[in-house]
Structure 1
Amino acid sequence: MKTVLRNYDNLNSFPALFNEFFGEPALAKLNKSVPSANIKENEDNFGIELVAPGFKKDAFKVEVHERNLTISVEDKTETEEKTETFLRKEYNFGSFSRSFRLPNTVDSDKIEATYEDGVLHLTIPKKEEAKPKEPKLISIN
């Protein structure tokens, strides 16, 4: 019969193990009330796609304050069912808030947002000076 020995002297590995199971990435996967976001970048702008199905377009609030972009939703729905002997109401509240720190290179006055098929799309244009430029040939006198 084999005996399995464990080395408890190396307790420094516990924080790494703890973070693996309970760290921010793991908690983000468990917290389904905050929607996932895809962030992409091209030469002209940044894009954020936020998966938030089941909300009405009017429930979203997108605001920028001092380079902080905050997307939030406060949604309340009521379902009412009447039958012969009772009246039943069900309430469903859905809300979340998600913030992103914007770089200095974006033009926050020209941010555009659309909500389509359960996905909120944000287009965050870059300032002209932040866009890549063609190399300039300098003549030698």
Structure 2
Amino acid sequence: MTLVKFNPEKRNSSLLPGFSDVFDSIFNDTFFNDRMVTRVPAVNISETENNYHVELAAPGLKKEDFKLNLERNNLTISVEQSSNHEDSQKNYSKREYSYSSFVRSFTLPDSADDNQIEATYTNGVLRIDIAKREEAKTVRRQIEIK
């Protein structure tokens, strides 16, 4: 069963009142629109004193599905997954996370140390830690007031 929002206050000039409300409800839903626009996993990027952190949410994959490449200053995360025979036998009524292939690329800042990049994949999240160069690390000290 699907719930459809109807707006009785809206004056429609169409021949079938409420007909356009059905499509407005479906196509103006932000959750639906977000999925129509992009079929790549969401990413969080953060920074600590010593590292940059990239977290990519990609449930349903295995760590072997990912390929991480660094060329010049571009970090590329890609997945090329063949269709799973087990999944093809299932009859999904709704399937929101299925990535057969995608590519995400990020330009590393000059302060990143491209020789110290580590990646782990646990609980559906790919975590990439990129160390900062020594000269880029924040210097903290107490300043005496005279």
The TM-score with structure 1 as length reference comes to 0.65
Q: Larger strand proportion, structure 1 or 2?
A: 1
Q: Give the secondary structure class of the aligned counterpart of 1:40.
A: strand
| Alignment-derived partner of residue 73 in structure 2 | 67
Partner of 2:109: 103
Q: Following TM superposition, where does structure 1 have runs of at least 4 consecutive aligned residues deviating by more than 2 angstroms?
A: 27-32, 134-137
Alignment correspondent of 1:125: 131
**CA drift at 1:136:** 9.2
Return the alpha-carbon distance in structure 1 between the equivalents of residues 40 and 82 of structure 2: 17
Shift in Å, 1:93: 7.0
Write the mapping of 1:4-15 to structure 2, written as runs, cut at 5 A.
Answer: none
Contact 1:78–1:89 under 8 Å retained in 2: no
Is 1:38 aligned with 2:44? yes
Check the 8 A contact 1:76/1:93 in 2, yes or no. no
Instruction: Kindly state the Cα deviation for residue 100 of structure 1 after the two structures are TM-superposed.
Output: 0.4
Describe the shift of the 1:71–1:93 C-alpha distance in structure 2 as closer, same or farther (beyond 3 A): closer
Amino acid at match of 2:117: I
What root-mean-square deviation, in Å, do the aligned CA atoms of Structure 1 and Structure 2 show?
2.9
Contact 1:48 1:123 in 2 (8 A): yes
When residues 73 and 47 of structure 1 are mapped into structure 2, their CA distance, relative to the original with a 3 A threshold, is same
Show structure 1 runs of 5+ residues with no match: 1-20, 22-26, 81-87
Q: Distance in 2 between matches of 1:93 and 1:134?
A: 43
Within 2, Cα distance between the matches of 1:33 and 1:43?
32
Q: Unpaired segments of 5 or more residues in structure 2?
A: 1-27, 91-97
Letter aligned with residue 100 of structure 2: G
The structure having more radius of gyration, on CA atoms, is: 1
Output one character per residue of 1:91-131: Cα deviation in whole Å (capped at 9) or x when no partner.
x8701000001111011111000000110000011000000
1:17-75 CA distances to partner (integer Å, 9 max, x unpaired)? Answer: xxxx9xxxxx7653342111000001101000000111111110011111101000011
TM-score (norm 2): 0.62
